[in-house]
């Protein structure tokens, strides 16, 4: 089965409100879409959501590079997953964002060819998945608490709060939220590299009393030694996000005894192919993983949810970006089950099960053999 054509497009969807973090904010999805078609009539969909402050690229740059990658991939065996991804990585190894879109489309296509849902194609089975819901930086403590109240009222069991403010400014927000939501709601916090080691230590001494499930990316990407030191100074588990793009990064963190958990994001890893390798290293080291997102639609999130369903070592789910969309451009795929604490339902259809409404796409181009 040969790749006969590849379509690239842009997806632009506004969000209800901006999600503010120490390294920027997301107020809209500015994504790139890939559709890989074959001479058998089967096709696969992929998506990426670049975030320049983390991935080092943008919608425009990922779209431009995707045109070059598409011209290289047309005519190749669509089912040769590992050779195809190795081929694309040799062309531009660090372009994880656009690599993710091609990888996702190839895995969707291969699972469809096998007649299996993607989780089954990856060797897994259906299981319960429950996402958290994220609160970005708010201007006041009252605004943070108000958002937390709305999420609890909507049925979410787990809230993720963006932190990383200067000094001890986060504490008042977190203490107020814990007091409001009570002990049964799980709280996770994500600094997005906002603290240095002394600030992190100062905050964690107070946060241990708030029953925080884990602390994500408290320090800059490069500070592996700081991560290792911080783990020795707190009982709160430490999770790496921006510090782990590939399985090589995962191995470095494991060797340094620097983390308790690893956050896998398909846009960072370049897709499922490398994500599986990250999880294998973590599992071998006794480290659990989470799966996260940037600004993906339900299509990109569907692929990530299938990965999580297929690997029980992926225990924490942060796939809430589509909940912030003003419009939903996706048919099929994963869905959020109302009033169930953030439960995600995956379809049993072949592939990841999601497709775009092509009317929602712009700047569509087609590369043929």
CA distance 6 to 53: 28
State the Cα torsion 245-23-258-173 to the nearest 10°: -140
Which one is catalytic: 7, 160, 162, 268? 162
Contact present, 176 and 144 (Cβ < 8 Å): yes
With b for 16 or more beta-carbon neighbours within 10 A and e for fewer, the 137-175 pattern comes to: bbeeeeebbebbeebbeeebbbbbbbbbbeeeebbebbe
Strands 133-135 and 129-130: unpaired
190 is catalytic: yes
HSE (CB half, 13 Å, CA atoms) of 348?
3
Does residue 216 carry a catalytic annotation?
A: yes
For residue 123, give both structure tokens.
Answer: 């060797």
Active site residue 20: no
The catalytically annotated residue of 7, 112, 186, 265 is 265
Secondary-structure percent of the chain, ordered helix, strand, coil, rounded to 5: 40, 25, 35
3-state DSSP assignment of residue 156: coil
Catalytic residue among 37, 170, 190, 296, which? Answer: 190
Classified as helix, coil or strand, 77 is: strand
Q: How far does Cα 194 stand from its chain's mean position?
A: 19
Question: Rounded to the nearest 5 degrees, what angle is found at the Cα of 218, between the Cα atoms of 216 and 221?
Answer: 100
For residue 198, count CB atoms less than 10 angstroms from its CB and return exposed for 0-12, middle for 13-18, buried for 19 or more: exposed
Instruction: Please say if 366 is a catalytic residue.
Output: no
179 CA to centre of own chain: 29
Which member of 57, 170, 216, 335 is catalytic? 216
Q: Annotated catalytic, 68?
A: no
Q: Which of 37, 108, 241, 355 is catalytic?
A: 241
Active site members = 162, 190, 216, 241, 265
């Amino acid at each position: 089965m040969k790749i006969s054509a590849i379509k690239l497009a842009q997806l632009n969807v506004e969000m209800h409100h901006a999600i503010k973090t120490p390294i920027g904010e997301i107020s809209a999805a500015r994504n790139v879409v890939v559709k890989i078609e074959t001479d058998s009539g089967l096709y696969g969909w992929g998506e990426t959501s670049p975030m320049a402050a983390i991935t080092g690229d943008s919608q425009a740059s990922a779209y431009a590079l995707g045109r070059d990658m598409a011209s290289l991939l047309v005519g190749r065996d669509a089912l040769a997953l590992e050779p195809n991804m190795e081929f694309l990585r040799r062309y531009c190894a660090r372009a994880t964002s656009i690599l993710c879109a091609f990888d996702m489309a190839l895995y969707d296509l291969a699972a469809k060819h096998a007649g299996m849902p993607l989780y089954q194609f990856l060797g897994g089975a259906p299981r319960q998945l429950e996402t958290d819901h994220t609160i970005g930086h708010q201007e006041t403590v009252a605004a943070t608490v108000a958002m937390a109240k709305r999420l609890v009222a909507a049925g979410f069991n787990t809230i993720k709060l963006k932190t990383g403010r200067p000094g001890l400014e986060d504490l008042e927000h977190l203490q107020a939220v814990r007091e409001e939501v009570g002990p049964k709601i799980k709280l996770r916090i994500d600094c997005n590299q906002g603290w240095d080691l002394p600030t992190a230590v100062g905050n964690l001494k107070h946060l241990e009393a708030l029953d925080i499930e884990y602390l994500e990316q408290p320090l800059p990407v490069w500070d592996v030694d700081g991560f290792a030191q911080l783990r020795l100074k707190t009982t709160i588990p430490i999770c790496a996000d921006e510090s782990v793009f590939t399985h090589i990064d995962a191995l470095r963190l494991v060797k340094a005894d620097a983390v308790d958990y690893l956050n896998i994001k398909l846009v960072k890893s370049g897709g499922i192919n490398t994500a599986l390798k990250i999880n294998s290293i973590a599992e071998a080291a006794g480290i659990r993983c989470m799966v996260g997102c940037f600004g993906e639609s339900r299509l990109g999130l569907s692929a990530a949810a299938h990965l999580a369903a297929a690997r029980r070592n992926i225990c924490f789910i942060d796939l809430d970006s589509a909940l912030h969309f003003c419009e939903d451009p996706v048919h099929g795929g994963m869905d959020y089950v109302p009033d169930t604490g953030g439960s995600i339902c995956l379809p049993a259809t072949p592939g990841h099960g999601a497709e775009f409404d092509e009317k929602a796409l712009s700047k569509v181009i087609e590369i043929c053999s």
